[in-house]
Amino acid sequence: MKIQHLALNPEVRAALEDRRPVVALESTIIAHGMPFPQNVETALLVEKTVRQTGAVPATCAILNGKLKAGLNTAEIELIGKTGTTVPKASRRDLPYLISQGKNGATTVASTMLIAHLAGIRIFATGGIGGVHRGAATTMDISADLQELAQTPVAVVSAGAKSILDLGLTLEYLETFGVPVIGYQTNDFPAFYARKSGFGVDYRLNSAVEVANLLKVKWAMGLRGGAVVANPIPEAHQLDFEAMQRVIEQALLEAEQRQTRGKALTPFLLAKIEALTGGKSLEANVALVVNNAKLAGEIAVALSAIG
């Protein structure tokens, strides 16, 4: 079925028509998460990693007013080179960007939406958004959480970004019936660190087990997606307590500068990179590649069981 405003890359279209496994990927990490050229290099490495599992990568974005599922190298380079001048696009931004024929870098929420429209069930990212610290007064809660509550796409991530209030993020997911699956772990990862002090709902130890859970969930007609929490590889993790101190310093500077809304996360990530001497960026690349591998394996397993 043709979806208005949706454009599928030919390779992605062929894979979906043949019922072969496809993994959605976001583009905010390219435009706002890393500097050029490392952003493009990482995006291409992530796509290569998905291919090595036997799945087809579908990096998503808005280009010239079209929802794109699957970008070619030139399109990835365009987003990487234009960087932060490409607006972050969440669900609320799509009608404006499409009607104006503009470009946009997709967040977790909008990538999930594009994936769902295209018929893609598995999505790999770095970390999901969530409830920001101080949200009791600011009401700053990521649209990613509502998307997870209503859109049937599973998101493989290294937990939630550690700049967030992880406890409240998990409470929010529980309230809206979103299962949080720990992949080979009982602990909810904290992006840069393998443990946050919080637990997951269920531990599953193989991609096949995760695929079976997802198949049952969606066969039952249950709304929404799932979070597959995949800890950063041990060799690349950063010290949790040290990172908390860095994050507190970055948050304080953001408050002093009155940096809020869409600008907050990119500011914090850049500040954290500077404060860690680039170690956070290295960790970010490692965890994204690790998530892409697992997402590909889950997509292959889900395709095999039908």
Q: Comparing C-alpha atoms, which of 22, 228, 213 is closest to residue 120?
A: 22
Q: How far apart are CA 157 and CA 122, in angstroms?
A: 11
Count of alpha carbons within 13 angstroms of residue 172, beta-carbon side: 26
Q: How far apart are CA 107 and CA 110, in angstroms?
A: 5
Residues taking part in catalysis:
26, 161
